[in-house]
Amino acid sequence: MGAMQTHAMSKRLTAEFVGTFWLVFGGCGSAIFAAGFLSTPTLGAGAPVHLGIGFVGVALAFGLTVVTMAYAVGHVSGAHFNPAVTLGVTIAKRFEWKDVPGYVGAQVLGGLAAGGALWAIARGRDVFDATGNMAANGFAEHSPGGYSLMAVLCAEILLTMFFVYVILGVTHESAPTGFAPLAIGLCLTLIHLISIPISNTSVNPARSTAVAFFNGDGAPGQLWLFWVAPLIGAAIAGATFHLITGVDRRDRDITGEVALEDVVVPDGVDPDAPRAL
């Protein structure tokens, strides 16, 4: 039984690593490589043409990373891909505290691996300067729109709170089956449409950590806010969701499965196999 649990946890942590890697690589990669892309004039004819995807494209990219990877590995790990989400669902009693360090560690490592990959690819262009150009989050002079520390703090708390509310709501058994990843991805897209100009949008400490140190330019020194604010927002959502909605599923994780500790698994049965509600 212990070996089976260890194997199951290994698969879950790998899924969180891969999912967070994809979120950072796809989301931040779209901002780094495609947001403001200019075409190169052919044979010197005409001026460069702006072909970038802009804020809307970057917002969609972040949403699509969550949708695609939630469908791919959500049945394995619950598709958190975000330390704030892990904290929120744990406070909501849908996840075990003992598993939180492993999940957060896998998410941060997956994000850093993606940040390293983005940095390595970006350096393949001679004119690229990583300093200030790695889609890092920031406030004050490092906010895209020059928003203050307090403005960014409030935005990140509120947006993360609503993000976790949506996650907790769409994973309820009464929600349409199979559509949770779409709702979560669309919510993340909306969040980015609101807040890219404010903070470059975090709502995810692993995403912020992933690129801060490659970006430099003040991002490492401001990273604390993009841990504190999302964690506060997620904690509020986790603590209040059942009070606001009357929906109390605190005996189940966000995959819709009863907690492993609450199930008696016969010898020879894989404890990681999906269980009916």
Residue 66 belongs to domain with CATH number? 1.20.1080.10
Domain total of the chain: 1
Angle between helices 205-215 and 2-29 (to 10 degrees): 60
Q: What pLDDT, on a 0 to 100 scale, did the predictor assign at position 89?
A: 95
One digit per residue, the tens of pLDDT, for the chain of length 277 reads 577 778 789 999 999 999 999 999 999 999 999 998 876 655 555 677 778 899 999 999 999 999 999 999 999 999 999 999 999 999 999 999 999 999 999 999 999 999 999 999 999 988 889 999 999 999 999 999 999 999 999 999 999 999 999 999 998 776 677 899 999 999 999 999 999 999 999 999 999 999 999 999 999 999 999 999 999 999 999 999 988 877 666 555 565 454 444 444 445 545 554 433 2
Structural domain contains residue 158: yes
Q: What pLDDT, on a 0 to 100 scale, did the predictor assign at position 236?
A: 98
Q: How far apart are CA 269 and CA 251, in angstroms?
A: 22
Range of the domain at 28: 2-262
Residues in the chain: 277
Give CA separation, 120 vs 113, 133, 216, 232, in Å. Answer: 11, 13, 15, 33
101 half-sphere exposure, CB direction, 13 A CA radius: 1
Contacts of 141 (CB under 8 A, 6+ apart): 218
**3-state secondary structure labels for all residues of the chain:** CHHHHHHHHHHHHHHHHHHHHHHHHHHHHHHHHHCCCECCCHHHCCCCCECCCHHHHHHHHHHHHHHHHHHHHHHHHCCCCCHHHHHHHHHCCCCCHHHHHHHHHHHHHHHHHHHHHHHHHHCCCCCCCCCCCCCCCCCHHHCCCCCCHHHHHHHHHHHHHHHHHHHHHHCCCCCCCCCHHHHHHHHHHHHHHHHHHHHCCCCCHHHHHHHHHHHCCCHHHHCCHHHHHHHHHHHHHHHHHHHHHCCCCCCECCCCCECHHHCCCCCCCCCCCCCCC
Structural domain contains residue 123: yes
Structural domain contains residue 24: yes
Q: How far apart are CA 183 and CA 171, in angstroms?
A: 10
Q: What's this model's pTM, rounded to 2 decimal places?
A: 0.87
Structural domain contains residue 267: no
Q: What pLDDT, on a 0 to 100 scale, did the predictor assign at position 151?
A: 98
Q: How far apart are CA 136 and CA 196, in angstroms?
A: 11
